Amino acid sequence: MEDAEKAIAYLKKQGGRALQKDIRKNLAVSEAKASLLVDELVAKGRVEKIKKGRGNIIILKN
């Protein structure tokens, strides 16, 4: 399973939303890799990214 699929699976397990840093920790990737991964998923329309303070909330789209 590639990282994008793992991120989607993690979001589903977390009820459809999670902090970007929690996704990063769960996938054991760098901050840069996590950011690129989330940006890729946003571009594909799979997730929505909401800026919250110094972090991001990632929400799974249906």
6 closest CA partner among 38, 32, 31 = 38
Range of the domain at 34: 3-60
Q: Which pLDDT tens digit goes with each residue over 26-49?
A: 999 999 999 999 999 999 999 999
CATH number at residue 53: 1.10.10.10
* Six token digits for residue 49: 């990214």
Q: Report the share of the chain in percent with pLDDT over 70.
A: 100
Closest CA to 59 of 51, 2, 50, 36: 50
pLDDT over 90 (residue 62): no
Q: How many domains does the chain have?
A: 1
Residue 1 has pLDDT above 90, yes or no: no
Buried b (16+ CB within 10 A) or exposed e, 25-39: ebbebeeeebeebbe
Query: pTM for the complete prediction?
Result: 0.91
